Structure 1
Amino acid sequence: MHSGRPPDPALMAPVSARAAVRYTDSAGLADALPGAQVLFVYDFQTRALPGAWPAADRLRWVHIAATGVDSVLFPELCASEVIVTNTRGVFDTAIAEYVLGQILDFAKDLTGSNRLQQQQVWKHRESERIAGSTALVVGTGAIGRAIAGLLRAAGMRVRAVGRRARNDDPDFGVVTTDLYAELPCADYVVAIAPLTDRTRHMFDARAFGAMKPHARFINVGRGELVVTDDLVGALRSGGIAGAALDVVDPEPLPSGHPLWTLPTARVTPHNSGDFIGWRAEMVSAFAANFDRWSAGRPLDNVVDKTLGYVPGRRRASE
């Protein structure tokens, strides 16, 4: 299922060699589902599956071309025996690089330097160091781990908040479950938690109020992790020093929204993971999983539908 731009047929060749492949958009999903055993949700933002679900008479596996699976998890699917997998692993490095880039932009004020250049103003300024500062990564999945590794390599101290506390995590060291105990200690807070009932709106006025006034907030998870009005309020009041948002709520961000013009906000259009060649890698990841499916082997990146994400290690046992 796609949104106007179907997967490259050449990349889908390993799948079409073994199965009849139907291409459809969201509007045609209900007509295309009868008889289908596998659904490749190439348009990761679609909300069409719940409405088309009654037509899924033989469906056994849904694969989404994204890490987050909130767009395809709904009660009927969760209660069924249909397996859900995601494209975990494709975007890890690119999103980690985006986070480091935004941290460097804040610390070195590269945006401000560019603005001064456009004005042809030569103005000496001092900048912050990121080495020795503390980053709190909220979300301990594969992308959060890639972020932690890159930030540590840049000399930052990294802590994490996750679903399970531990003191010997190989990537984070210390992982706690108490967000409010960690927020006052962080210079940068990075949101990469999956969107679930537990995490929706976890960053609200209370959370921003617990952060240092000089702290910056970076969201590369889901826009709905944040109460947007509370974030705007924190930026306007100086409760926090800045926010870099690759995801927002609502999305796309409407014209005239205050986040567009707040000087301490950085907004990008949900593309932190979209490196050159990402579409091909998404299709290749699905094709590799389809090989496993065809051979009767365990699938990679099976989502725990009660949790809303892939738990534990990236790959299923061989």
Structure 2
Amino acid sequence: MSIHEQTSVRSSHQHRAVLSTAVEALPAGERPHPGPLALLPRPNALFSDAVAAGGGQVEELSADTRALVWLSTQGAEQLADALDTNPQIEWVQLPWAGVDGFAHVLAAKARPGLLWTSAKGAYAEPVAEHALTLALALLRVLPTRVRATSWSRVPEGRSLYGLNVVIVGAGGIAIELLRLLAPFDVTTTVVRRSAAPVAGADRTVASDALDDVLPEADVVFVAAASTAETAQMFSTRQFALMKPVAHIVNIARGALIDTDALVTALNDGEIAGAGLDVTKPEPLPDGHPLWDVPNCIITPHSADTPDMTAPLLAERIRLNVEAFLGDGRFVGVVDPLAGY
């Protein structure tokens, strides 16, 4: 069974990884040398079993360690220290799809002979499901309905069927969103770094054409990586370009949206609503103006809960340990300088 086939097999936990590109073996000269692996900051039975299932050996961090699996979403400086004191490490597996929390470490420690992989694509199914849930809730004015204390006689709500949808990003979440949206007969535009076509999308445009496609969008899904280039890619100008009936859903990172501009756009009626699983700042403080916006749904970065992600990360670890010890077909390779 190929890597692609393996990452498409559903586990007993229902979900599977969704990859936006085919997995290819690293050239022999670029592969890390096999050896013991360390699980940091502390071992975990599920992930230790995943290493063993891939044929690997978990040991305490030492001069013999050749690979490191980082299991915390925090502790970037601790990770940096581990790499500084163990220059023999040749592969690091990170726990989440987005690596923005470790971006400065990746950039500072980038060197020939050090491979980085993440969980990108691993959590695409639950996150895309959450994104669609937020969009449907907004279109059906559920924020108003759940707060109601009397029977409304105002005929509100829109159907998703036949609408124009813009998806910003072309990773696993975007690919899964396209699949979930297909039964609704929507017209989809994917905005990505290049205009290379994305399978399943009606149209693909480069990121510099974002402003050109926003005026026709009914729903905008934000699913791009958080980098210096994507910071606040949605701000005052972008909201002004959108329809008053349009909704925006962000399941990527809060930094992609200018929060102050979003609050203004929602309060002024420039857009109809927002569904946010991520915010900036995050966590969103009590008393923040976003909490008072009636047409905004905020979920606490819970599109993929630990119960959903743990088996998916374990499978990613297993696959990459097999690649580490075998043919070099690593899944989720990260460019440390680009940050994704």
Bin for the TM-score computed over the shorter chain: 0.7 to 0.9
Letter in 2 for 1:77: K
- Describe the superposition over 1:101-153 as per-residue Cα deviations: whole angstroms up to 9, x where unpaired: 1111111122322222xx2x222443211111111000011111111221222
Provide the TM-score with structure 1 as the length reference: 0.84
Seen in structure 2, the aligned counterparts of structure 1 residues 235 and 79 have a Cα distance that, compared at 3 Å, is farther
Matches of 1:213 and 1:46, distance apart in 2:
42
| 2:103 counterpart SS class | coil
The structure 1 residue matched to 2:198, chosen from 166, 169, 177, is 169
Letter in 2 for 1:98: H
Letter in 2 for 1:233: T
Q: Does 1:146 align with 2:176?
A: yes
Q: Give the match for residue 332 of structure 2.
A: 301
Q: Is the 8 A contact 1:158 1:172 kept in 2?
A: yes
Q: Does 1:40 align with 2:66?
A: no
Q: Give the match for residue 28 of structure 1.
A: none
The structure 2 residue matched to 1:78, chosen from 90, 110, 116, is 110
Q: Does 1:159 align with 2:189?
A: yes
Q: Give the match for residue 9 of structure 1.
A: 45
Matches of 1:11 and 1:42, distance apart in 2:
9
Seen in structure 2, the aligned counterparts of structure 1 residues 55 and 191 have a Cα distance that, compared at 3 Å, is same
Letter in 1 for 2:277: D
Q: Give the match for residue 238 of structure 1.
A: 269
Q: Is the 8 A contact 2:324 2:330 kept in 1?
A: yes
Q: Is the 8 A contact 1:90 1:281 kept in 2?
A: yes
Matches within 5 A, 1:14-25: 14-15=50-51, 18-22=56-60
In structure 1, runs of 5+ residues without a counterpart are 23-31, 310-318
The structure 2 residue matched to 1:223, chosen from 250, 254, 266, is 254
Letter in 1 for 2:169: G
Q: Is the 8 A contact 1:90 1:282 kept in 2?
A: yes
The structure 2 residue matched to 1:207, chosen from 215, 233, 238, is 238
Shift of the alpha carbon at 1:45? 4.2
Matches within 5 A, 1:83-98: 83-98=115-130
Q: Give the match for residue 90 of structure 2.
A: 60
Q: Is the 8 A contact 1:234 1:240 kept in 2?
A: yes
| 2:165 counterpart SS class | strand
Aligned length: 294
Shift of the alpha carbon at 1:220? 0.7
Q: Is the 8 A contact 2:167 2:221 kept in 1?
A: yes
Q: Does 1:179 align with 2:207?
A: no
Q: Percent sequence identity over matched residues?
A: 29
Q: Is the 8 A contact 2:138 2:274 kept in 1?
A: no
Letter in 1 for 2:49: A
Matches of 1:34 and 1:253, distance apart in 2:
42
Matches within 5 A, 1:240-259: 240-259=271-290
Q: Is the 8 A contact 1:33 1:55 kept in 2?
A: no
Matches of 2:185 and 2:336, distance apart in 1:
37
Q: Is the 8 A contact 1:67 1:86 kept in 2?
A: yes
Letter in 2 for 1:58: Q
RMSD of aligned alpha carbons: 2.3
- Describe the superposition over 1:266-305 as per-residue Cα deviations: whole angstroms up to 9, x where unpaired: 1111111237442122122212211221225331221233
- Larger relative contact order (CA 8 Å, sep ≥ 6): 2
Matches of 1:209 and 1:202, distance apart in 2:
13
Matches within 5 A, 1:115-154: 115-116=147-148, 119=149, 121-126=150-155, 127-154=157-184
Matches of 1:21 and 1:175, distance apart in 2:
46
Letter in 2 for 1:140: A
Matches of 2:332 and 2:122, distance apart in 1:
11
